[in-house]
Amino acid sequence: MDRQALQERLLRIVGPDGIIDDPDELLVYEYDASDEVFAGHHRPDITVLPRTADQVQEIVKLANEFGVPVTPRGAGTGLAGAALAVRGGILVVMTRMNRVLEINERDGYAIVEPGVINLELSQLTQPRGYFFAPDPSSQRACTIGGNVANNSGGPHCLKYGVTSNHILGLEVVLPNGERIWTGGPAPESPGIDLTGVLVGSEGTLGIVTKVMVRLTRLPEAVNVLLAAFADLESASQATSAIIASGILPAALEMMDHLTIKAVEAAFHAGYPEDAGAVLLIELDGLAEIVAESADRVVELCRGCGATEVRVARTPRERELLWLGRKSAFGAMGRLAPNYYLVDTTVPRTKLPPTMRTVEELSREYRLRIANVFHAGDGNLHPLVLFDRFVPGEIERVLRCTTDILQYCVDVGGTLSGEHGIGLEKRDYMTLIFTTEDLCAMAGLKRSFDPRELFNPDKVFPSGFSCGEVNAIRQQAMAKRLGIEFV
């Protein structure tokens, strides 16, 4: 590659303040929110910060001409290393494309650029009575483009569905440099659903330059309850009881003792620190029905042994309770310098035995595991805490997480992929997909990106990733399956 020439041409596209090529400054683009132990450091050759879709298109065409890899990036809050330039090349940071282009309340949609921060869109539309429903815990910082690419979920997805349910259309620059629109404001568009293909494709099929999102009407009433339990088991039972009663909460989140402690230290959110587990339950809808459901939920929680049930009285109390929950991953830094997040879903009825297994594995591997998860849809996030400087810990963590995942798959669960597969979880793909499944995906990928320039080495499993980590992981897997590795 003629680096000099590429630099010069890029400079002409994005201007001097839109290009970063100083190797030292590029250090700060070698990470995202994933743990560096597993994702590693990956410095791009050049970072660009485009301001318009035209610029993005020019950049992609140039990458084609020079045959260099392209990696899209939003705010870099991804937990799977998906926004890392593994093979170098050009990192395209989309955060400067952050304008809200249109808000159309009548038809219930907005058109935004991908760099708009998730929460800021909702803040903008709230006074008009609307919000953008997908609310990943990182919503204060992450971009809508990143949400689209990862098909992100959040607490409120229990009732409202994940990102894909809220994307009406996309403008996207394809790997060959063409720019197209998919979908549109109509609920159904003819032909192959390209929007559906692109949502969740983790930047491997193109760069999204505009997003048409569905806006959801704010509910008339919202009620947030906090129920404390002695242990995870009774909290899990309460979860099942609530769902079985026919009530569909807007959100139903669980946190264990360790998480409560970390979060309390961070923000004094008002969680009972001695509780073994808490449930955070949000009910929304018509005022009357919300009030009725709230009474019922209180009753059900008490029936399952809740030691305390509290109702947030003021918007501020509500906000605090949510702030605590939404900061939970970040607060892990208070418990240990590193954490590994397992992102998996099990059938709701399998929650109690899964929690027991996680606890056993925690003991077996002598690793602390914090649990915080979307209990309502059985999506759990065991956070395995460790310190990368303690000899042998990394290896134990990998064995432990593989065991957890294997157990979840065994009981009918799956890799949730809520946080993306990216670089870092791609070798788990073989746990849930057959070779044929993966070939079908690869075929689709090739038809979009025959030269494999777009976000290479992501999503698809590979035998040669991240050297050592991968080897340990394979050994762990092999041990489980009873295969000897040589």
Partner 1 sequence: MVVAEERAVLHGFKGHDVPEFDVIRSCVHCGFCLPVCPTYRVTGRERSSPRGRIWLMKSIAEGRLDLLDPLFEDEMTLCLNCRACEAVCPSGVRYGEILEASRAQLVQHRPQTAKERLFRFLGFQVLLGDMRRFRAANRLLRLYQRSGLRALARRSGILRLLGMEHADRLMPEISDRFVVADGSFYPALGERRGRVALFVGCVMGTSYAHVHEATVRVLTRNGFDVALIPGQGCCGALHVHGGDPESGRRQARRNIDALGSPYIDAVIVNAAGCGAMLKEYPHLLRDDHDYAERARAFSAKVRDAIEFLAERGLSAQPGPLPMTVTYQEPCHLAHAQRITRQPRALLEAIPELKLVEMAESALCCGSAGIYNLLRPEMASTLLDRKLNNALATGAEAIVSANPGCMLQLQAGLRARGERIPVLHLIEVLDRAYAAAPATRPAEALAAG
Ligand X SMILES: Cc1cc2nc3c(=O)[nH]c(=O)nc-3n(C[C@H](O)[C@H](O)[C@H](O)COP(=O)(O)OP(=O)(O)OC[C@H]3O[C@@H](n4cnc5c(N)ncnc54)[C@H](O)[C@@H]3O)c2cc1C
CA–CA separation, 23 and 154 (whole Å): 36
Q: Which is nearer to ligand SF4, 130 or 339 (CB)?
A: 339
- CA-to-CA dists, residue 128 to 99, 105, 216, angstroms: 18, 8, 11
Spatial neighbors of 274 by CB under 8 A, at least 6 apart, are none
Instruction: Rule CB under 8 A: choose which of 138, 182, 357, 401 binds partner 1.
Output: 138
Token pair listed for 404: 């957890």
Closer residue to partner 1, CB minimum distance, 237 or 338: 338
> Out of partner 1, ligand X, ligand SF4, none, which partner does residue 27 contact, by CB within 5 to 8 A per kind?
partner 1
Which of 128-139 are b and which e, b meaning 16 or more Cβ less than 10 Å from the residue's Cβ? eebbbbbbbbbb
**Phi-psi category of 285—alpha, beta or left, where left has phi over 0 and alpha has psi -120 to 50?**
left
CB of 82 to ligand SF4, least distance (A): 17
Work out what residue 266 binds among ligand X, partner 1, ligand SF4, none; the CB cut-off runs from 5 to 8 Å by kind.
Answer: partner 1
Q: Does 333 bind ligand SF4 (CB under 6 A)?
A: yes
Task: State in angstroms the smallest separation of the CB of 475 from partner 1.
Answer: 27
Member of 5, 8, 12, 28 binding partner 1 (CB under 8 A): 28
Out of partner 1, ligand SF4, ligand X, none, what residue 70 binds, judged by CB under 5 to 8 A for its kind, is none
Reduce the DSSP state of residue 182 to 3 states and report it: strand
Q: How far is the CB of 33 from ligand SF4 (least distance, A)?
A: 8
* Nearest in space to 471 (alpha carbons), one of 367, 388, 361, 395: 395
Footprint of partner 1 on 418-477 (CB under 8 A): none
- List the interface residues with partner 1, window 387-406 (CB under 8 A): none
Instruction: Determine contact, residues 432/415, Cβ cutoff 8 Å.
Output: yes
Among 196, 330, 347, 461, binds ligand SF4 (CB under 6 A): 330
Per DSSP, the residues of 382-450 read EEEEE-TTSTTHHHHHHHHHHHHHHHHHHTT-EE--TT--TTTSGGGHHHH--HHHHHHHHHHHHHH-T
Q: Does 161 bind ligand SF4 (CB under 6 A)?
A: no
Contact status: 315 vs ligand SF4 (CB under 6 A): no
Provide, rounded to whole angstroms, the least separation between the CB of residue 145 and partner 1: 14
Length of the chain: 486
**CB-CB contact of 74 with 84 (8 Å):** no
By Cβ distance, which residue is nearest to ligand X? Answer: 146
Stretch that binds partner 1, among 28-36, 198-206, 253-261, 426-434 (CB under 8 A): 28-36
The minimum distance between CB 93 and ligand SF4, in angstroms, equals 16
Q: 338 and 381 in contact (C-beta within 8 Å)?
A: no
Distance separating alpha carbons of residues 417 and 432, to the nearest angstrom: 11
> Where on the chain is the footprint of ligand SF4 (CB under 6 A)?
330, 333
Residues that bind partner 1 (CB under 8 A): 1, 3, 20, 22-29, 31-33, 35, 43, 45, 49, 75-77, 88-89, 93, 95-96, 117, 120, 138, 140-142, 263, 265-267, 327-334, 337-339
